[in-house]
Structure 1
């Protein structure tokens, strides 16, 4: 078992930091999170992880002011994918908000098993690598795709946005968090600008350095798929 993965609350910070040095290797990421799954909620709670609550509120309050025809994100009947759902923290918030049609996916089967116990999801898929096209999901399948805590150091490259866009309907929402340190050390802004120039998405709402975790904030992005 990885030395950084522990159920001791005073080592929660180390467990989170351990996930940031996985270099985007999907096998290492899956193994790490499978081992961390049972302690994950406790560890991130100890570090005041507020990202899931913030991103759901960000989604529900998103709307287009520039004449674009968009899906009503406040409609509790829309179909949502929680991409990189982990143990289901975003799904729990969505459920409390009254959303009924929420699916989830994650690379780690261990994390998905934890998410299953929340009762917040209709369908859950494990083994989903967001850096690839996943046959489990059709083009234009969801009204909204939410991705919290995935665009962070050691996990996925900014180009993983493309898979989120693919599975979201035209007029639908792709809402993601980027941990500040991730944004500062990657070309996320360049990728974001390129996908807009190519007519794939439009950035509608953006919050810089919003609440995320005790150590640092995150940027939040709400794109509409074109």
Structure 2
């Protein structure tokens, strides 16, 4: 990692949407070959594997699409069409080079996305609901853009799940969701090193009533 390249501690320390935009603008071009490769970042693949087992249908919204790691795995599973939203235009520019998205657009999950109610038959998100990023309040927006009967898969880091109160939020949403299942998953693979190498998250799998 170069001295100028952002790291996980910087990402987890984000406070505002503008902070996120600045960090990911600086990180976009080196994210895949640097961080993702160095940390053996396998969460996107594992989320998509669990998602596909739920037999989702398109169109799919990839929340926090970043450089398109989830989109690439969805394409490999022949699932689509896929749209991607992220707070960073620079990250989306990298994702666009993969050629796997129907549409990529800027959006902040703390606000309202430029998406009509019930647009998507499936919603997936990997690595976005985590410390310094998106909290449980964004689940309302996830459900707004999901169609009745939609399949949803969202990863949440364990530390963030507990600290931000995701369990209470899911309980409040009981009348809007079905078949909630939480699966523990490692965020990084066996090649990862450093303080975060053994970090875990939950995969929240559920349907939209």
TM-score normalised by structure 2 residue count: 0.90
- Using the alignment, how far apart are the partners of 1:206 and 1:184 within structure 2? 13
Whether 2:24 is the aligned partner of 1:33: answer yes
Q: 2:105 aligns with which of 108, 120, 125?
A: 125
Moved over 3 A (4+): none
- Using the alignment, how far apart are the partners of 2:3 and 2:45 within structure 1? 26
**Alpha-carbon contact 2:12-2:131 (below 8 Å) kept:** yes
Which residue does 1:9 correspond to in 2?
A: none
Q: Quote the offset at 1:4 in angstroms.
A: 6.6
Which residue does 2:143 correspond to in 1?
A: 165
Which residue does 1:106 correspond to in 2?
A: 86
The CA deviation string for residues 91-142 of structure 1, in whole angstroms up to 9 with x for no partner, is 000011112301101000000000000111010002x0011112x2010000
**Aligned CA distance change for structure 1 residues 183 and 41 (closer, same or farther; 3 Å):** same
Which residue does 1:54 correspond to in 2?
A: 46
Query: What 5-or-longer segments of structure 1 have no aligned partner?
Result: 7-13, 63-71
- Using the alignment, how far apart are the partners of 1:4 and 1:178 within structure 2? 28
Query: What 5-or-longer segments of structure 2 have no aligned partner?
Result: 189-196
Q: Please give the secondary structure, in 2, of the residue aligned with 1:105.
A: strand
- Using the alignment, how far apart are the partners of 1:194 and 1:185 within structure 2? 17
Q: Quote the offset at 1:88 in angstroms.
A: 0.2
Q: Please give the secondary structure, in 1, of the residue aligned with 2:122.
A: strand
Alignment of 1:185-196 (within 5 A): 185-196=163-174
Alignment of 1:205-216 (within 5 A): 205-208=181-184, 210-213=185-188, 214-216=197-199
Q: Quote the offset at 1:5 in angstroms.
A: 4.7
**Alpha-carbon contact 1:150-1:156 (below 8 Å) kept:** yes
**Alpha-carbon contact 2:52-2:77 (below 8 Å) kept:** no
Whether 2:209 is the aligned partner of 1:217: answer no
Q: Report the aligned-residue RMSD.
A: 1.5
**Alpha-carbon contact 1:4-1:15 (below 8 Å) kept:** no
- Using the alignment, how far apart are the partners of 1:5 and 1:61 within structure 2? 39
Q: Please give the secondary structure, in 1, of the residue aligned with 2:154.
A: strand
Matched residues, number = 199
Q: 1:181 aligns with which of 138, 159, 175?
A: 159
Q: Please give the secondary structure, in 2, of the residue aligned with 1:159.
A: helix
Which residue does 2:10 correspond to in 1?
A: 18
